[in-house]
Chain A
């Protein structure tokens, strides 16, 4: 069964460093998303992406964040200068276009730890 994959599973970085989180969505999906979950808290939407453009973004997704689909398979989230409060689990998700059932498939997540 096709699935969303994410790498790395755990990333440790120093405050102020840049990180890139990688995702490979399901191959026939056209909508892509990033969510984050701070430990013990709810899952929060960051950004959605379609047709090589950001469709929607939350207040969390400020100038320090960017997304890119550099090739036909990868979808990346970059944090330019990490802060302690960026420590969280980051989930990538994808969904197929035009589906009446509207399911977003989630990857296993990347745990980001900022020291």
Chain B
């Protein structure tokens, strides 16, 4: 069974600084997808960034980028120039492809301080 592990229950970053959230996963599949979702206090799940396992290039979306290490089964999220609005729970997630279930990690609560 696939598992997703987030070892940092909480992280804190100062506004305008950079923070990295860690995620590791376990799978026997060769093709799969990895995601980072943001859950603000409103509780809605918002997709931040996705990575296809067959792509070697790390995904980037504006201030958000990932470090995908397929051999190590590691998928970290880097947030640059952190903003107060980035404060939220961040969940790492995995699935095998279109229409398959998402398996989530336990989440990392990110605080952004002035």
Contacts and interface: CB of A to CB of B under 8 A. Distances in A.
Interface of A: 31, 33, 35, 37, 41-45, 48, 50, 55-56, 58, 89, 91, 93, 95, 97-109, 111
A21 B50 CA distance: 29
A45 B43 contact: no
Interface of B: 33, 37, 42-47, 50, 52, 91, 93, 95, 97-107
Which of B44, B52, B91 lies at the interface centre, i.e. has the most chain A CB atoms within 10 A of its CB? B44
Contacts of B98: 31, 95, 97-99, 102
Nearest to A32: B99
Nearest to B95: A102
B43 A48 contact: no
B101 to A, nearest CB: 4
Nearest to A98: B98
B99 A55 contact: yes
A89 B95 CA distance: 21
Contacts, number: 62
A42 B47 contact: no
B27 to A, nearest CB: 15
Contacts of A37: 43
Contact of A31 (B37, B42, B99, B104): B99
A111 B41 CA distance: 13
Contacts of A91: 45
A42 B99 contact: no
9 contacts: A31-B99, A44-B104, A56-B100, A98-B98, A102-B98, A106-B46, A107-B44, A108-B43, A111-B43
Contacts of B106: 41-42
Given A42-B106, A42-B107, A106 B101 contact: no
